[in-house]
Amino acid sequence: MGPTPLQMILGLSFLSPQQRVVCELLVALALGTTALALRGQKRAVRALSLALCASGLLFDAGAQPQFALWKQWARWASASGLLLVCWGVIKMLLDGIDAAAHRRRAHFSTIGKDLVMLLLFVIVAMIVMVEDVKIDPTPLLASSAVIGVVLGFALQETLGNIFSGLTLQLGKPFTPGDWVRTNNFVGRVQGISWRSTAVITRANERLEIPNSMIAKDVVVNYSNGIVADEVTIGLSYDAPPNYVREVIAETLRGVPGVLQNPSADVYTWDYADYSVRYRVRYWMTDYAEADRVHDTVNTALWYALRRKSIEIPYPIRTLRPGREPGISAGAAEFDREITAELRQVDFLSDLRDEELRVLLQGVTLLKFGAGETIVREGDAGESFYIIRSGEVEVMARANGAHEVHIRNLKRPAFFGEMALMTGEPRNATVRARSDAELLELSREGFVELFKTHPASATTMGQIIALRMNERRESLEAASLRGNARSHTGWLLDKIAAVFNLAPDR
């Protein structure tokens, strides 16, 4: 028996029939073993492609007269072997091209590759039928029209999904990797297949949404650059809307993930029964972080509104027949606690109780959430802070560029005294490393204090000078060589000018 078409393609025609069969069996064994080794692995060469080629070689090796099961066995076995090998080679080439084209993308669509593979397979099958099996395809094409009508009615929904998938692939309302919302589903598109579109939700659930359902529904694509999100909050009628806007805008300046350009929009939206409702619209670049940013915005707003004494009301009814007896006692105890904490500040420790009570009038208790900015470098400041609980970090910009970590502060440390005493802008940024409770002391209280205890101004000037030297050394370690003006005499002059004191020189 002469060589089969596949043996001629493989260049085995010069061998004897037995040698050709042995060669095909050996190659089939090698391909089958490799396919088993690659099973379940996502590589450029897939196990299925090798298995198809191995099956084709086995069929072609069996196209011998001694293996014939019926009269036309050799012809059909040879044609089947050639068809399976061609299918395997086509799939292998397309898989390799597809892997090279998407090697840097975690999500991609396979519908284009499947369409090309099907088209090439049909062409190869027609050629094999005409050249090898000697079958005229014309009657098959005529009868396939009738079969197509029957299958069209039977597979209406399946064909609808197929054509919808082709429409989505050509129209490109979204691409793999985009965040989309369709119907009640939100997730990242992983790929488009013949029947469905795969979407991965935030909970890492894989949804297979039929293509026809997506084609009929509205698709919202969140991957067209920046995207907006909103929070709604109800605040007290006592808070002026313009002041509320300022507080919210300032709060959003320090929230990670919120863009500063375009800036956030704050709308006075509704007058409800218990509150004025505001809509806060902010912008971000990655919709995948929407839930985390939403949480961070709400958390930052709670702390900021609490510090500014802007009430977030809720429906409640409180009946108070008279003054509660424990209120006065509780206020006195709180004043004693604050006085004891003020005394822990080194330049206030020598003051008498009646002098510390002068400062109590300007003390405010503030709470900050982890990650919030307490003071920002370059901003004006007329107060300084004493840490009551939690931990903060002090950062400064080296040479106006990157931020340098200066130190971490815990109770009973204080900061902000430089801007308070000299009237200069803040020279460092302070952020809360954990939830922190701070005492804010205003400049008005120190005006009264320095009138009765001028020596404390000199003591504070010396402490500020030490802090300036410490900050300068930290920045110099980060390759900053600046002009350090932290001389004690200069500081005392600045304090005297701000608080209208006679300089003690």
Whole-number pLDDT of residue 483: 44
Looking at the structure, tell me whether residues 56 and 70 fall in a common domain. yes
Distance of alpha carbon 117 from alpha carbon 91, whole angstroms: 7
Buried b or exposed e, range 98-129, using 16+ CB within 10 angstroms = beeebeeeeebbbbebeeebeebeeebeeebb
Closest Cα to residue 295, out of 231, 233, 235, 248?
231
* Amino acid at residue number 68: A
Q: What is the distance, to the nearest Å, from the Cα of residue 63 to the centroid of all Cα atoms in its chain? A: 59
Give the domain range for residue 268: 227-307
Say if 61 falls within a structural domain.
Answer: yes
Q: How many structural domains is the chain composed of? A: 4
The enclosing domain of 283 has a CATH number of: 3.30.70.100
Does residue 5 have a cis bond before it (omega within 30 degrees)?
no
Whether residue 295 is found in the same domain as residue 366: no
From CA 500, how far away is CA 88, in angstroms rounded? 91
Q: For position 95, what pLDDT does the model report?
A: 75
Give the pLDDT confidence of 51-109 residue by residue, as tens digits: 888 888 887 777 776 666 666 667 777 778 778 888 788 777 777 776 666 555 544 55
Query: 242 with 349, same domain?
Result: no
* Beta-bridge mates of residue 284: 227
- Same domain for 303 and 362? no
The pLDDT of 338-358, averaged and rounded, is 79
Are residue 290 and residue 259 in the same domain, yes or no? yes
pTM of the model: 0.56
Q: Check whether 499 has a pLDDT greater than 50.
A: no
In a domain, 315, yes or no: no
Please state, rounded to an integer, the average pLDDT across all residues of the chain.
Answer: 77
